[in-house]
Structure 1
C-alpha cells in the first residue's frame, strides 16, 4: 500500500491532476509554515549556530533523490584541490537513532550511521560526522579533526539551525515537477527560494528546464549542469575485478539492475545508454537489503549502485554472491563552478 501511494503521488507531483489540485489548499499551509520557520531564523527570532569555519550546504527542494551524494563527493575533491582541508557532516538518513554525534569511516555499519555517509567517507577519505543536529555534528567533527578549515553539509538545506555561508540547490531532469509544495507537489520550498548556486543533474539542460529551476527571484547565477557518468562495474566480492558496461552488454545473458535510491530510473537510464537491457528492480530509498531481494531472481549479472553496495557488503549472503557488480558514478561539472564556490568561501569570515 505504501509503495502504491508513493507511486501515485510521484505521478501526480509531475502534473497538476485532480489529486494534486485537491491537495493544493494544504500545500499553501505547508508553504506558509515553511516560510515562517525560515523567516524566524532570518530575522534572528530563532538562533542559528555558527561554526568557526565556512559551511557549504548541499541540498534540494525537490523531495527525494536528485544526486546530492555525488555532488558532495565532487565538492569535497574540488575544495581539496583548491587547498582546503574539508570535512563532511550529515544527518545519516537510514541509520539507527543516534544518541550522540558519530564519526563515520569507510568500514562503519550503514545501519548505524546511514548509507550515504559511509559512501562519502569511502570515496573521499575525508572525515565524516553524523548527527540529528548538524551543528553538533560540526562541532564534534572539528573537535576530532582540528585541521579542518571548511565543512560541507550533505543534505542540510532546510536545517536552518546551522548557519551556512554558501547554499547549493540541486535539481534533476524533473525540474520543479508541477511547481507546488507538499503535499500537492514535490517541493519542500517554492522554486523562488534564494540560494547561491543552482546545479541541475540532467543529461540535457534545456532553456525551459533552466528557467524553471532558477527563476530570477531565486537570486542565484545561471544553473550549472551536472552529469553522472559511470562506464565500469566492479565485482562486489572482489572490487579489483572490473569490466566495462559495454563489455557486459556484449556478453549477453540476463542482467538485473537494482537501485534503492531516491530516483532509481536515473540509474536504469544510464545502464540503457551504455547498451544494456536490464530487468529493472526499483527498491525503496535506503533499502537495507536484509530481505535479500535477489534470492529468487534468475540473473547472470546483478548491477547495483554504490549506495546499495555499502549495505550489501555487510550481509554475508550478498557479499559472497558472484553475480553482484557495483557501478560507481562520478559527477562531471564545469570547473568554473568550483572556482566560484571557492571564491565565495574565501570571502567568509570565521565565527
Structure 2
C-alpha cells in the first residue's frame, strides 16, 4: 500500500499531506539552524565523504559505500566508515564493529560493510562521536559516512547521493505522504549523483548491480548461481523487488519468494519453515549477516557488485584522492612550521 501511495498511484497521499508539510518545515528549520550558526557544525580532522539518499531506503546506498571503499583502497588510501547503526541497539556508544559484533548491537549495514571490506567501522547515533573513536585508534586518510546526508551537524567534504533510477522520487512529497527526506532541489548542492538503474542524465553517473556467485552461509563455499536448484528466495531490504528481479534477469527459476521489511530481524524456526527438505534458501548479503549464526547447510546468499559507467567515475575518485592529498599536505606544513 505504501508503495502505491508514494508512487502517486493512490490518492491517499492527500490524507497524509498535512503531516508532510510539518515534516518538511521541521527539516528546513534543522538545516537552517546549522546554516546560520544557531547550531554548531563539527569538522573532523580528516576528509569526510557522505553517501546518502534523498528518499527512504532501497536505493543501493550501502553497495555504493562498499564499492567506494574498495576503489579507494586500490589507490592506497586508508579508509574508515561510520554509521548511525540503524536497527541496532548497543549497550554503549561508540561501538567499534568486530567479527564478534552482532547485528542486534550495530545494525545490519555496519556489520555487512565490515564483513565484506575488512575496514574499520564505528557506530554511534551522533556521527562525530563515531569519527573520533576511529581517529583515536587508527591513522586514516578519510572516513566514509554511510547515510547521514541529513545529519548536518557533521561537516562533509564530499556528498554522494544515490537515487533509484526506476522509482526516482515517487510523488515528490516529503514523508509520510511521499518518500522524500528532502526535496529534489537539494541535488543542486551535492557533488556526485549516482543513478541505480533506469536512465542516467548527463550530469549523473549510471550504476548497475551485478550478482556475484552464491556463497554458503555455513561453509563459505562459493558456487555458480545456476547450480542451485529448488530455490526459495527471501529479501529483507528497502526494495525487495530489485533482488527478485535480479534473479529473474539471470534466468534463475525460483520456487517461492518472500519479501520482508528492511532491517527485519529473522529467527531460525521462521526461515526453516519456509523451505522443504530438498529446497535451498537464497538471501541477500544484508540478510546473511543476520542469519550466519544459526544458518543451515542449505542456506546461501548472493553478494552483488556495483558497476559505474562514464568518465565521471574517475573524476569522483580523483576528487576524493585530491581531498586526502591536500589534507595531508596541509597538516605536514603545519607540523613543519611548529
Decide: shared fold, TM above 0.5: yes
Aligned length: 320
What residue is the counterpart of 1:286 in the other structure?
Answer: 263
Cα distance in 2 for residues equivalent to 1:312 and 1:165: 36
2:208 is equivalent to residue 205 of structure 1: no
1:85·1:150 contact (CA, 8 Å) conserved in 2?
yes
Name the CA shift for 1:90/1:123 in 2 (closer, same or farther; >3 Å): same
State TM-score, norm by structure 1: 0.86
Matched residue of 2:54: which SS? coil
Contact 1:56 1:164 in 2 (8 A): yes
CA offset at residue 66 of structure 1? 1.2
TM-score between both structures, scaled by the size of structure 2: 0.89
Residues 59, 238 of structure 2: 8 Å contact kept: yes
**In structure 2, distance between residues paired with 1:258 and 1:115:** 16
- Name the SS for the 1:313 alignment partner: helix
Tell me the C-alpha RMSD between the 2 structures.
1.9
Alpha-carbon offset, residue 61 of structure 1: 1.2
**Deviations, residues 169-190 of structure 1 (Å, cap 9, x unaligned):** 1111211111111111100100
Give the superposition deviation at 1:92: 0.9
Specify the alignment match of 2:251 in structure 1. Answer: 275
* Structure 1 unaligned regions, length at least 5: 1-7, 211-220
> Partner of 1:63: helix, strand, or coil?
coil
CA positional deviation for 1:26? 2.5
Task: Give the deviation of 1:338 after TM superposition.
Answer: 4.3
Q: Distance in 2 between matches of 1:195 and 1:337?
A: 14
Asked if the contact 2:206–2:310 (Cα under 8 Å) also holds between the matched residues in 1, the reply is no
Does structure 2 retain, via aligned residues, the 8 Å contact 1:59–1:154? Answer: yes
Deviation at 1:98, TM superposition (A): 4.7
Distance 2:82 2:136 in 1: 13
Unmatched tracts of structure 2, length 5 or more: 332-338
Matched, 1:223 2:204: yes
Partner of 1:181: 174
1:302 equivalenced with 2:278 (yes/no): no
Contact 2:209 2:305 in 1 (8 A): yes
Equivalent-residue separation in structure 2 for 1:101 and 1:262 (angstroms): 26
Q: Quote the residue 2:319 is aligned against.
A: 344
Question: 2: distance between equivalents of 1:39 and 1:339?
Answer: 33
1:201 deviation in Å? Answer: 1.2
Corresponding residue of 1:3: none
